[in-house]
Structure 1
């Protein structure tokens, strides 16, 4: 099953419970980036018939997933994404979750933490998995080279977060933690010495609607690029019902939402938000049943000039 077939199979499950849809999105949609580093794999688990049945059973009775999430409630999207993956690794028959968010300390300071350590039944090896979920807006800051944009062209809504900086930290620090001397006794205590190294970067890139910005090197071309628009441009095409997507709901598409409002009304809300210096907002176009048809970011008209 290729990535596009996998997405179609996931959509065909028609999951109703939001947290279960988020779980399915986190673990079974295609990765955002193919990471280029020796001895670093991309965590990828196929959506098998058994896993599809597991998701559908959870959709009927989401209690185990809800209980898991309530043990450590997440207020940040990245932590929520990690918790979903940890639940999957804890539950799947082919994996055993050894530890999660496990700190490594030396000399009174924390060097980092393992997002996930798990045992892979098929490979009969421990695996160190680092996770990230990112939503970046593109800004052409330099001339693309060889058909690719640069990592410094993709910014988070707060403009401090940037793709090249995130990848540098992920590849040079986070995924290297198991190589640190201070990590060796931590791994030995868990019988997880010399783990394989994996990473998974999920999310979406939103290209500017007024310019052609190619994706960065390593982008998964099986995924479509999203788009972002200045408020005035979005206002001209915002017919129908729309909704601002709360940050913790950015993963799976909205379903049966009751919070839609007319585009003109939402435009007035966004205008007031941006007048106070607010960040770009992710919004969804809804059909008559409250299901998400599409999504895009809307930013202040001066947002590129006001980034820090």
Structure 2
């Protein structure tokens, strides 16, 4: 992800991350329905002149995001992806978040319908996820979310078996611009996976070998001995995508101060935190490690 260091505006950097980040699932597992990483890389290469110009003058992207009330992480991801499709793919966005109804009941939603330069109608289902591996023997079921009962196996199955088959249902066909038109359905499942701190990464075989990864630990249970010389930051949810960059130390803490801040947080609040450690490179502080710190009573199974 060194390419991201080229971009100075945080929102533009996140847009590039949405395009450049590898999918979470192995392409052999998602061969029939996943958007291949190579397709994303090719789209990124074609859009690079526009992205560099956007980095110099980012107001259009900032306004686009602000107009979509992108305060939740999933909506922020969708706003960036919608900008990509609308402005950088060389095609035409047909609809975003289009509800599908059976009578008066909403049974699903098309995340994105868009027509590419060849005229093909594409249906993209998109999701960004952050999972902690709690059981290596459980495969995909061993990756769970921090705040919900979400699991990687459940999300993967829902994308494959339900969301991407929407256009094959009577209600799904009826919601299309032309019910007789063929639809090319694909999924983008991106994000980060986190592994127990200090242990070797043993990923599930269905996971992409290129996936982005970090660590996780229970505060007060697992000794936390990060490399010296780093400065630390608790990442707000809308800063979870691309690695953090900073031109100064504002908002960053040294190891001792950071540990004290974590101790105070977990004495008062049980919310997991995503944190990043930054090292200096010239005049820029750049993220070199990230992980989730969770309270001791965090439920490994999220039940």
Shorter-chain TM band: 0.7 to 0.9
Provide the secondary structure at the position in 2 that maps to 1:134.
Answer: strand
- Does 2:131 match 1:136? yes
Q: Are the structure 2 counterparts of residues 109 and 273 from structure 1 closer, same or farther at C-alpha, using a change threshold of 3 Å?
A: farther
Cα deviation for residue 138 of structure 1 reads 0.7
Match of 1:4 in 2: none
Structure 1 counterpart SS, 2:69: coil
- Number of paired residues? 292
Of 251, 268, 276, the residue aligned with 2:241 is: 251
Deviation per CA, 1:82-117: give whole Å up to 9, x if none: 111110110125321111011111121111111100
Structure 2 segments unaligned to the other structure (5+ residues): none
The answer to whether the 8 Å contact 2:191/2:212 transfers is no
Give TM-score, length-normalised by structure 1: 0.86
2:271 equivalent in structure 1: 279
Alignment of 1:188 with 2:177, yes or no, is yes
Q: Distance in 2 between matches of 1:192 and 1:62?
A: 40
Matched, 1:92 2:88: yes
User: CA–CA distance in 2 between the matches of 1:11 and 1:69?
Assistant: 19
Q: Which runs of structure 2 are paired with 1:92-171 in the superposition (5 Å)?
A: 92-122=88-118, 124-140=119-135, 144=137, 149-171=138-160
Shift, 1:171, TM fit? 1.6
Q: How many angstroms apart in 2 are the aligned matches of 1:26 and 1:59? A: 15
What is aligned with 1:3? Answer: none
CA distance in 2, matches of 1:214, 1:114: 34
Note the residue ranges of structure 1 that are not aligned, 5 or more in a row: 1-6
Looking at structure 1, the residues matched to 121 and 301 of structure 2 have their Cα atoms a distance apart, in angstroms, of 46
* 1:197 pairs with one of 185, 193, 216: 185
Could you report, residue by residue, the CA deviation over 1:124-181 in whole angstroms, capped at 9, with x for unpaired residues? 31000000111111111xx63xxxx512111111151111121122222211211121
Give 1:307 shift.
4.1
Q: TM-score, normalised by structure 2?
A: 0.87
Cα–Cα, structure 1 residues 59 and 307, in superposed 2: closer, same or farther, change >3 Å?
Answer: same
Whether the 8 Å contact between 1:234 and 1:298 is mirrored in structure 2 is: no
Cα deviation for residue 198 of structure 1 reads: 0.5
Cα deviation, residue 235, structure 1: 3.9
SS of alignment partner, residue 103 of structure 1? strand
Question: What do you get for the CA RMSD once the two structures are aligned?
Answer: 2.4
